[in-house]
Amino acid sequence: MQDAPKSAPSAQGRKPAAPTASDVERVAQHMAMLHVDGLPRNYELFHEAICGRNAAVAREIAALGSRPSQIFLDEIGLRHRLVTHCGLAAEKSHAEAARTLRDLALHLSNGVTHKRTLLRALDAAARSLAIDNGRGLADTIAEAEFVSAALTQLLLTETELGRKLEDGLKTLEAVDEGMNDAQQAVLRDRLTSLPNSIAFANHVDALYSAAGQSGSALIVADIDHFRAINEKYGAAAGNKLLKKLAGVFRKSIKKDDFVARIGGDEFAFIFRNVSLQSAHAIAERLRSSVEDNLVYATGDAGDPGRLTVSIGFALTDEAASPEQLQGQAVLALATARANSRTPVVGYTRDLLRVHGKAA
């Protein structure tokens, strides 16, 4: 008996459940107890620790004690790639890049002004030497020394300007790298390091924003009875299984294919240039790879200790939009979950009559 069918994810991918009033109260009380400012990013951090059951985040916050520095709190959020903190990092990177560019522009302007002043002084000295032939040797030597000093100063100024430009370029490169890291963090699932629901939604949208999206398949896989596994063996054991499953899926696809974790125990794949028959074969291969490679220890004689998945898939040829494609794939998944004898189901129009609804 499979678990009850799940509803289709939205076009933006599956989103976490909204916090309840009790969650908000618990988080607010804990923040107040530690004298933490009521910033949105602090709320996200404490919600992850308290309601998200992220033991690592909770330990790091506890280690800071009462009245923790905001800098240290932000470092924890960035280290665990919380969305709000990654956005903050991007904002800081933009501000730092703008500040660096302003400094470089100021250095260039000052360099140009200094160079013009020196050139005017050199021009005046050269004219004086050329016109006044009656001045003595001492005056001539003084003029020559002035010209030499001016040239030396010009060289020093140019060298300093070059150093500042080089430092500025290094800063901009570091900012660019930091912004890329922050962007990638927003698109990565923290537990499995696979692309997350946001990256998945972008990928599906890209299928329909570019020509030639026909012949692509969306495959959605869901772990059978995962809630029961979590309740029986604990969330830590469930997380280990999810990490192992992500590794199996990552090794089961080719370089140009795509896999993401889009829900608690739900994964999505995109394969290009495939037919209905080849998509079904790929789905069967994915299911077999899980059953062959994921075995967990159990002391229960009734539990075989083998992970299984139900899989549904749909083709872009049958869907006019990303939303319709996802709806069709999840409808096929619901059909697979409802009958353990058919763990892999592809979307067809016959499913509409079976379920009595449109996709």
Closest-CA residue to 78 (of 70, 88, 69): 88
Rounded CA-CA distance 268/105 in Å is 48
**How many whole angstroms separate alpha carbon 359 and alpha carbon 352?**
7
**C-alpha to C-alpha distance for 160 and 110, rounded to whole angstroms:** 11
- Give the H or E element holding residue 266: strand 266-271
> How far, rounded to the nearest angstrom, does the alpha carbon of residue 219 sit from its chain's CA centroid?
22
Reference 298, options 223, 340, 241; nearest CA is 241
Provide the whole-model pTM: 0.58
User: How far apart, in whole angstroms, are the C-alpha atoms of residue 209 and residue 231?
Assistant: 42
Phi, psi (5° rounding) for residue 142?
-65, -45
pLDDT of residue 301: 53
Identify the pLDDT of residue 280. Answer: 96
Place of tokens 């077999």: 288
pLDDT of residue 84: 65
Q: Could you count the other beta carbons within 10 Å of the beta carbon of residue 154?
A: 18
Angle between helices 70-79 and 40-50 (to 10 degrees): 60
Contact between 215 and 260 (Cβ < 8 Å): no
* CA atoms of 199 and 14, how far apart (whole Å): 11
pLDDT tens-digit profile, the chain (359 residues): 344 444 444 333 444 445 566 778 888 898 999 988 888 788 888 888 887 767 788 888 888 888 888 878 877 887 777 766 666 555 565 666 667 777 777 777 777 777 777 777 777 767 776 666 666 667 667 767 777 777 777 777 777 777 777 777 777 676 666 666 666 677 888 889 999 888 898 899 888 886 656 789 999 999 998 988 888 888 888 899 999 999 999 999 998 999 999 988 999 999 999 999 999 999 999 999 999 887 765 555 555 568 899 999 999 998 999 999 999 999 999 999 998 899 999 998 888 766 655 44
CA 336 to chain centre: 31
User: Please, what is the Cα angle at 232 between 228 and 238, to 5 degrees?
Assistant: 75
Question: What pLDDT shows up at residue 11?
Answer: 37
Whether the CB-CB separation of 45 and 82 falls below 8 Å is answered with: yes
- Residue 316: predicted pLDDT: 93
Contact 84, 40 (CB under 8 A): yes
Report CA dihedral (288, 188, 332, 330) to the nearest 10 degrees.
160
Helix, strand, or coil (residue 119):
helix
Copy the structure tokens of residue 302: 């009734």
User: How far is 191 from 170, CA to CA, in rounded Å?
Assistant: 32
The answer to whether 248 and 293 have CB atoms below 8 angstroms apart is: yes
Distance between CA atoms of residues 209 and 62, nearest Å: 46
Residue that is written with structure tokens 């150093």 in the block? 163
CATH topology of domain 197-355: Alpha-Beta Plaits (3.30.70)
Q: What pLDDT score was predicted for residue 96?
A: 66
